[in-house]
Structure 1
Amino acid sequence: MFSQSLRYWLLLLIMRILLSSSTPTAGKVPAIIVFGDSTVDTGNNNYIPTVAKGNFPPYGRDFDGGVATGRFSNGRLVTDFLSEAFGLPSSVPAYLDTSYTIDQLATGVSFASGGTGLDDLTAKIPSVIPLNQQLEYFAEYKEKLKLAKGESLANEIIAEALYIFSIGTNDFIVNYLVLPLRPAHYTAPEYVTYLVGLADEAVRHAYDLGARKMELTGLAPFGCIPSARTLNHDEPGECNEEYNQLAMRFNAELKEAVRKLNDDLASAQVVYAETYSVVAAIVANPSDYGFENVAQGCCGTGLIETSVLCGMDQALTCQDANKYVFFDSVHPSEATYRILADEILNNALRIFL
């Protein structure tokens, strides 16, 4: 009788051990820390002197409370959805927003700035925060975290946090193609390599500051954004395939950089997040994803308006942004960001769940 009871309790103990080992650890990622451009700027540009802002209607009209937070969309961004998926708050605060305490920033923070790029020159054009300054803010944030949480817990948060880099499109659109500032110094392939080198440097800098779990987001087919279609003189209204080729070239070199970073950086996990094929599929068959309009943004005429231009004539803004792939002529709608977040979570970030 005793032996049967003992066997029962041993079996129960073994089952508990097996179950606990197969269940994902809660809080495996204690924070989402973000660097980048307007695709992940949750309001930092509100606090700097720049025209590149999204803190007025119709931006934010589908955000909680209908508030224009500075996000360049009608609602939440990819990083907001990712934060929620990891069991963290449903939106990632902007670092420069002083209404947030360091305790609130301990579970997620965005240093991103709309209009910036990997190339410092890109940030100078709209007077926004360059990537190297974002990394300096991160170093500052670390010290604040140590004061608030103690060095041991702060170091644990920094080591286990997920770091997201979403940046690069403005370098091409603003700096190379529309305002041709860099072509005098670089051919297009040379500029791609230069930018990927800067991305590599940024990741290594973050690593030196304690980052270990890092995701680099590839570029979407930016030749298909509404403003690129509008400015496509050869085929008005169509995707600019020359632009898309640059995005694909950048992505190929970025993937190789990610491979090398994993080889070079001890204990680091660096992943590449694919977005090009996802957006390309949406553009090719929008109705499959519930969209009705892929060629125009929801705000204004949908052809060229972004940032301040988006808020000039709200009467023209569409009624249902969920039917539009893009909210303005550059930035995706919340519905598109949600699809991208799901894809990134189920593929690139699966190892961190």
Structure 2
Amino acid sequence: MARIKAIHLLLLGQFIVQLVLIQAEIPSIIVFGDSSVDAGNNNYVATVAKSNFQPYGCDFYNSRPTGRFSNGRIATDFISEALGIRPIIPAYLDSYYNISDFAKGVSFASAGTGYDNYTSDILSVIPLWKELEYFKDYQNRLRAYFGPIKASKVLSEALYLISIGTNDFLENYYALPVRSTVYSVEEYEDFLLGIARNFITNLYILGARKISIGGLPPMGCLPLERTKNYLLGKICIQKYNRVAKEYNLKLQQLVMRLNQELGGIQLVYSDIYTILLDIIKNPQSFGFEIGERGCCATGRYEMSYMCNKLNPFTCDAPNKYVFWDSFHPTEKTNFIVAEHAINNSLGVFL
């Protein structure tokens, strides 16, 4: 296990050295969203959506479980390191860090949340509107720390990353008979996009100018969803993937409209769907062996408390797997996704 870890870290280190050569005038990265970018805020929330225990974090620094839903770092950590800022982005609610740490990067994200307030209510996590309130509090603290002029400069030059939406469909729309009785799936997509528009506009009003918003992943190919498709051989649920593609197209159109409407904004769409589907379909091409199930436990339905150190089925080589648990990627996959984002959508900011 130690040898595998060492090889994994060496490979990641070589990639990072290449990326750090990028010279970017970005002083800070500010993150909003769900478990894909939660660095541990849910540790401080009364919810079952937690991952601050082993084996989560087994490949993080000092093998420490932080609340990240992965065996190690998440994509936003790698983006931060690649831009020469710092190797991790801390969670805003983590009292170990202070405003001097958060000045270089901070995550307000909460695992299990969504655009829809009803989504965050399901697991009693931080709703998106509350993430924005935390950001306002952060702005006040930043102004007290730097002074208003320097704080405004940091806020306007910071890179804002948004990754959210999957839970709205998989935990909410398709899992519970509430929204689906009110909205068709197309109407629900538009409902979520309306919230996305308002959120981005509010960020803009608060001083954000460089913003990346991620689309939905191929959510029908997540191990948990494939497990539900048992009668068809655990293949991807194509209905969910079609919805993701349809939503992503609408999101791209929204990005184009907001770039025209909001003067001075640089808003980009980050495509996670294509790169992740490519990894899942062709794992060997990316150095993986297994793409249909996760490493933790059986990898088919376990996540959070069902993915724990007492489970005897957890693999000892996470870097062979695309997914860590039944829903979330491994550190290695997170790195590839981050590298793809830097080379594509985030390139306009470099």
2:112 aligned with 1:119, yes or no? no
Which structure 1 residue ranges, 5 or more long, are not aligned? Answer: 1-23
2:176 aligned with 1:206, yes or no? no
2:242 aligned with 1:252, yes or no? no
Q: Map 1:36-75 onto structure 2 (within 5 A).
A: 36-75=33-72
TM-score by length of 2: 0.92
CA distance in 1, matches of 2:306, 2:111: 15
How much has 1:26 moved relative to structure 2? 5.3
CA distance in 2, matches of 1:69, 1:287: 29
How much has 1:234 moved relative to structure 2? 4.7
- Letter of the 2:72 partner, please give it: G
2:279, 2:286 within 8 Å by CA — same for their partners in 1?
A: yes
> What's the Cα RMSD here?
1.2
- Letter of the 1:110 partner, please give it: S
How much has 1:283 moved relative to structure 2? 1.4
Partner residue of 2:180?
Answer: 183
Q: Deviations over 1:114-137 (max 9, x none)?
A: 000010000000000011100010
How much has 1:280 moved relative to structure 2? 1.2
Q: Which of structure 1's runs of 4+ aligned residues deviate more than 3 A?
A: 24-27
CA distance in 1, matches of 2:177, 2:203: 30
- Pairs aligned (count): 330
SS, match of residue 296 in structure 1: strand
Partner residue of 1:243?
Answer: 240
2:141 aligned with 1:149, yes or no? no
1:300, 1:313 within 8 Å by CA — same for their partners in 2?
A: no
- Letter of the 1:288 partner, please give it: S
How much has 1:25 moved relative to structure 2? 9.5
Q: 1:205 to 1:291 in 2, by over 3 A?
A: same
How much has 1:99 moved relative to structure 2? 1.0
2:32, 2:131 within 8 Å by CA — same for their partners in 1?
A: yes
1:58, 1:314 within 8 Å by CA — same for their partners in 2?
A: no
Which one of 281, 296, 300 corresponds to residue 284 of structure 1? 281
Which structure 2 residue ranges, 5 or more long, are not aligned? Answer: 1-20
Partner residue of 2:7?
Answer: none
How much has 1:316 moved relative to structure 2? 1.2
Which sits farther off after the overlay, 62-71 or 171-180? Answer: 171-180
2:119, 2:172 within 8 Å by CA — same for their partners in 1?
A: yes
CA distance in 1, matches of 2:287, 2:293: 15
How much has 1:313 moved relative to structure 2? 3.4
2:164 aligned with 1:170, yes or no? no
Which sits farther off after the overlay, 226-235 or 71-80? Answer: 226-235
Q: Map 1:1-353 onto structure 2 (within 5 A).
A: 28-311=25-308, 313-353=310-350
Q: Deviations over 1:318-352 (max 9, x none)?
A: 01000000000000001111000000000000011
SS, match of residue 212 in structure 2: strand
CA distance in 2, matches of 1:222, 1:282: 13
SS, match of residue 339 in structure 1: helix
SS, match of residue 41 in structure 1: coil
How much has 1:27 moved relative to structure 2? 5.5
TM-score by length of 1: 0.92
CA distance in 1, matches of 2:100, 2:225: 41
CA distance in 2, matches of 1:254, 1:106: 29
CA distance in 2, matches of 1:243, 1:313: 32
Partner residue of 2:12?
Answer: none
- Letter of the 1:73 partner, please give it: S
CA distance in 1, matches of 2:281, 2:230: 21
- Letter of the 1:96 partner, please give it: L
How much has 1:314 moved relative to structure 2? 3.1
- Letter of the 1:178 partner, please give it: A
CA distance in 2, matches of 1:261, 1:67: 40
2:55, 2:309 within 8 Å by CA — same for their partners in 1?
A: no
2:54, 2:309 within 8 Å by CA — same for their partners in 1?
A: no
Q: Deviations over 1:220-258 (max 9, x none)?
A: 101001100001155141100001011101100000000
SS, match of residue 203 in structure 1: helix
SS, match of residue 173 in structure 1: helix
